[in-house]
Structures are given as C-alpha cells and as structure tokens.
A and B are shown apart, each in its own frame.
Chain A
Amino acid sequence: MQPFTSHTGIAVPLLRDDINTDQIAPVQSMRNLKPDYKALLFMRARRRDDGSEDPDFVLNRPQFRQPGILVTGHNFGAGSSREAAVWGMLANNIRVIVARSFADIYRENCLQNGLLPIALAAPDAEAFEQRVVAADGSAPFTVDLSTQRISGPGGDDIAFELPSADRMRLLEGLDDIGLTLKHADEITHWERQMAVAQPWLQTACDRRG
C-alpha cells in the first residue's frame, strides 16, 4: 500500500448526508472486471438525462476538475461494501475524505487503500466546510497525517484525530496481510485447539458422501 504522509489538493464541497456507494460507484458501471474507475465516480450525478455533462455538479465545475480532497456530510459511504467506491476516489486523485461521519465498511475500505478518512466533529466540521465553500477551489488545502492537521486558506490549522493504529498503518503503508501473518503460529494454534473443542467449526464438508 502507498504510504500516506500528507496530501495537498483542491477541496471539493459535496455537503450532503448519507451519500451511498450506489451513488459513488453504481453497480451498473461495473460491466467488466476492469472498469474505468475514474469515469465511474459519481457517474450518474455527473451526467444529465441526455448523457451530456451536468455543469452544475460540483466535480464538473472548472475549479474542481482536479480534486484532491472530498468534503461531505454524515454517514458517507453507506450501502454496498463494493470497494470500487474507494478505487474511484483514488483514480481521481482524491486521497482524503473529510466527513461528519463514515459508514463502517466504507471507512475500512478507505484504510485498506491508503485513502485517509477524517471524521470531524460539529464545530470544526462546520468551520472547515465554510472555509472550503469560501475558497471555492481557488487555493488548495494540505492534510498532514503526521501532525494530524489540516491547513489552508481562510483560517488557522484544524486538528483531527485518527486512532493511532490506523494512523500507523497509513503512515507506513503497512501491508495488512503481512501484519496479520506475523501471528501465523497463533492462528495455527487456535485451529488445533478448536479442532478439539468445537470440531464442527473446523470441518465444512458435504456429508452426503
């Protein structure tokens, strides 16, 4: 995984709650194994009924054509567990999402891919959202994970917090499977114990013979 230390980019305000993964990456956009992840991001909101671009959708506006940070509301990423909803962000160079809160599975998918999910509480979130709207893409914001601060136009740095475990994984770009495999012996030990204690859990075979 690509390590995350800091990221500077244009912050895009998409200030709505409960944006779900069907909106972020519609299942119909996944017609083949390697879809165009850049194009599938918010595919429906980007286009009008006749297929032309909707100039009013925030990511289509000239100042937000090269986004870096997405700023959004509560419960971002609800719905399906599809990871394409994270891959679509990365394909557009969005490496930070600042939300009021995240859906659990989406947040985990972000961490797995080096996309930084920042949840800001009400007063800070409100102030940051206002600054992003005021900046209107004219100048970038910088998110620094080592100092856990967001800096940019319109005011002082804003502090955020990520659980230290998640922070370490992102900063070092640690391989999640590799971390777990350090415990391979304990996994084997657990399996041996369980094969005796609850043997039905360690065998899953068709017993019709």
Chain B
Amino acid sequence: MAQTLFDKIWDAHLVARRADGRDLVYIDRHVLHELHAPHAFEQLDKQQRLVRRPDLTFSMQDHTVATRPGRDDATNPSGAAFLKAMREGSRRNGIRLFDIDDPEQGISHVVAPELGMVLPGATHAVPDSHASTVGGLGALAFGCGTSELAHILATQVMALRRPKRMRIRLEGRLGPHVTAKDVALRLIGDLGVAGARGYTVEYAGAAVRAMAIESRMTLCNLNIEMGGRSGFVAPDESTFSWIAGRPYAPQGAMWDAAVAHWRTLASEGDAAFDRDHVLDCSGLEPQITWGTDPSQVLAISGRVPDPSAAEPSRRAAVESALAYMGLTPGMALTGLPVDRVFIGSCTNSRLPDLAAAAEIVRGRHVADGVVAMVVPGSTTVKREAEAAGFDRVFRDAGFFWGESGCSMCAGGNGDRGEPGERCVSTTNRNFEHRQGPKVRTHLVSPATAAATAVVGRIADVRRLIAGQA
C-alpha cells in the first residue's frame, strides 16, 4: 500500500509493540526545559534509573528565565529554583545544558532547529505542547507530559498509539504581509480547537512549498491549537540548504548520505489520508483572534460575532469570551486602543519574524501609552538581529529589546500584563489570564503586532503601509 510520510517515519522508528498494544517509537532527539524536567529527574532518581542516551538529550533554560538585560538567577526570583534544579539534574545525568548565560540559549523549539539538532525524518520530543514546531523541517515531533518525559529519559522510546493521518493542502499564494501565522489561525478557526485531535497533520500544497523554513515552523507550531500533537511539512531542497552547515548537522560523506535519504521523504502520490482539508490562501487577509481560544478568530477587516447568530451549543462560550475581552457583537477590532504589544515566543521569534516587524517599525515610533516588547527566540537570533541592526530599529522606536526566552507567552518568568490590559501578541494562546490576570490577548502575526504598536490601535498592516491607517 502506498505510504504517507508519517507512516514512513513511524515505521522506521518502530522498535517493538508492547504487550499492551502500544507502539514503542524511538526518539532521536529529546529536548528538555526547566519547568518540567526537574520533576522527571527526581522521579528517575527515586526509581534509581539512568538516562539511557544523554548524548541525544539536551537541556534548555527557557520558560522561567528573565528577559531583562544583565539577567541572572535572581532577576526572576520564582524561576531560580527551576534553573538550579535543571543545572543539577543535567549535570548529574550528563546532559548538555544551554544555561541562562550560554551564547546559544533560547526557547527549545527555536534552538534545536537552528543548531541542526533537528533533522528531516527524525523523531523529536519535548515536554511542551509546542514540540511540533520542528515539524517545519520534516521531523515528527511529540509534545509530552512529565511522566512521558521520564519514560523517554529512561528508555529513549515513547509508548504511543498510532494516530490517524490528516493532510492539509494550502493552495494559492499569500498576499503581501499575510503570513504563516495568518494561515494557521485561519485553519484553527475553520477546523476548531479539537479539529486535529487524534491526527498527525501533513501540511502540503503550493503555499507551503513557497514558505520559508521559519514560516513552516510557525505553521507547525500552532498545530496543537487545533488539538494535533504532531504536524509537519515534507522536507525539500530549501530544507536541506537551511540545515547545511549547522553545528550539530551531519557533515561530509554523512551529509551526502543523509540528503540522499531525505530526498525519499515524501508521501507517495496515491497514499491515503484519513482526512483531507484544503485552504485556498489567495485572498486570505491578516487574521486576529477576538476571543479566548485560538479558534475565535476573524479577518482583520471582519467584525466580532453576535452570540445570537452562533450555534446554540457555542452561544454561552461566545458570550463569555466577549465579556472577558470587553467587546460587543458586531464591532470591528481595527481601531481598538491597545495597552501592550508582545513580539516573541516559539511561534514568532525567529529572525524573519523580527525582520518583518522591524520593516514596519523602521522610521516610526511606538504610540504613546503602549508598552511594546520584542523578545528574540534565542540568543543566536538576538545576535543575528543585532548584526542586522534590528535592535536599533526597535529601541529607537521605543520597544523593549530583551534577552531570549518564553517570556510573556505564558508569563512563567514574570513578564505579564496588568489586569484589564488589551495585549496584541504574536504568541499561540489567548486563554483567559494566560498573559496575566484579566489580560485580554489578541493573537496576530509579527507584522500586525508591529503595525498595532505604532498606531496604538489594532491596525491592518496593509493599510498602514499604504498610508491609510
């Protein structure tokens, strides 16, 4: 039977079938972070179990690290115990740690690809639901909890039930200032927050092929927001040239052999998927969430829905989201004053994201009364952005330019908004209270966030560029 790429990767990594019927799937790269790994280290110590492959395991400090320049353990006091436990656990188990002052520290989902740890056709696990970010390189990635993390440390495999297969074909061409973030938000809006539950998603089609690797990572990053644990894009020549020469990537003859293999990594033409979905991206507008989950999204020119027009089963949810967000049915979001703008997170903190924002910000200034932050996804991204002069663009415009980490995405490091603030954010979750108690979050692309920061109101970046905002 013709195979999908998912089947090829799964079968190549299938070690055994366990007595209880679960597939043992080998994990090629395992990346940990300090919010969850300390509990798993403790669990292993109690059970007197060793880490099977410390050489395939990496530790990042990302969730609780402060972003203030000159930071150390004390800058975010509530993170100190996590950083310390991560340091000790990593040392004890012989795992390479990217500590708070490491020149290559950053968000795990940003650092692992940029160092070449993630490879096409490889499996990858992180104790974080956004693990599938690295699917942008053609890797099959799994987010997991703490117990599963301990399981991988001890065995280097995951015990999984084989998911179903979904293909999402993105056809057409994206218009100017319309990005992978907008595509992903539209998909979540169309399919719902549980639309991909139980599936592994392969993103295909002309619009995906035209996307830069970093954009493919943004697309795969948001896969979990429609309930899918894993999502990926089949690798192509642009993937291979993106990986070539990265520090942890194969070199020389091994590189040539790897690329020869990677060229076979595609779903066969007549392979069957359990579900197919198509989105025509031509004509897609920039998207913005209006509610309290990522499926509550509309085009930037759209209007907030009326609960009375919603399906009866969704009505209460729409009403409660509008109340939390301080919105009224039928209103436009553009023009709504904002208090805070955040550009960063594993969704949108790579160099092209910052470049897109800087392009909008250059020669403009953050509007009065708006607090605007840029937090690069890794210290490497930060360095590269500074070499390109983006830090000056942002700082001159009145943005805070921070040290790398997860920052305001979940606020685990103390970066958060004040109660009642309206925050336009390039992150992945607009859940109630996530960016601070009573903070009202609107998810957008970096370009839309940048336009909003300089206008001081929710803005259509295309109109700003055209001189109409």
Stretch in contact with the other chain, from B14-22, B270-278, B297-305: B14-22
A-chain residues with CB within 8 Å of residue B279 when the two chains form the complex: none
Give the shortest distance, in Å, between B438 (CB) and chain A (any CB): 8
Structural contact, B145 and A112, CB atoms closer than 8 A: yes
A88 to chain B, nearest CB (A): 13
Tell me the interface secondary structure of chain B in the complex.
loop
| A-binding segment of B203-211, B250-258, B350-358, B373-381 | B250-258
Query: Which of B119, B143, B148 is in CB contact (< 8 Å) with A201?
Result: B119
Would you call B194 and A198 a contact (CB within 8 A)?
Answer: no
Residue of A nearest to B104 (CB): A206
Chain A, 143-174, CB within 8 A of any chain B CB? 163-166, 168-169, 174
| Residues of A near any B CB (own CB < 8 A) | 16-18, 20, 22-23, 26-28, 30-33, 44, 74-75, 78-83, 86, 101, 103-105, 108-109, 112-113, 163-166, 168-169, 174, 176-177, 179-184, 186-187, 190-191, 194, 198-208
CB < 8 Å A-B pair total: 196
Q: In the bound complex, what is the Cα–Cα distance between A177 and B22 (angstroms)?
A: 13
- Distance in Å: Cβ of A136 to nearest Cβ of chain B: 21
Report whether B317 and A18 are in contact in the complex, using a CB–CB cutoff of 8 Å.
Answer: yes
Cross-chain contact of B18 among A80, A101, A104, A179 (Cβ < 8 A): A179
CB distance from B191 to the nearest CB of A (A): 12
The 10 closest A-B pairs by CB, nearest first: A165-B20, A112-B147, A200-B250, A109-B145, A83-B145, A83-B146, A31-B78, A75-B194, A165-B21, A22-B431
When chains A and B are docked, how far (Å) is the Cα of A103 from the Cα of B161?
Answer: 14
B403 to chain A: closest CB distance in Å?
Answer: 20
CB contact under 8 A between A22 and B412, given known A181-B155, A200-B258: no
List the B residue with the shortest CB-CB distance to A109. B145
B248 near A103 with CB under 8 A, answer no
Residue B157 CB within 8 A of the other chain: yes
CB distance from A32 to the nearest CB of B (A): 6
Check B129–A81 contact: CB distance below 8 A: yes
Task: Choose, from B32-40, B179-187, B281-289, B447-455, the stretch at the interface.
Answer: B32-40
Distance between B326 CB and nearest chain A CB, rounded to angstroms: 15
A residues near B313, Cβ cutoff 8 Å? 17
Apart from A22-B432, A28-B437, A179-B20, what 13 extra A-B contacts exist at CB < 8 Å?
A: A30-B35, A33-B82, A108-B148, A163-B21, A168-B20, A177-B49, A180-B157, A181-B155, A186-B16, A199-B250, A199-B254, A200-B249, A203-B55
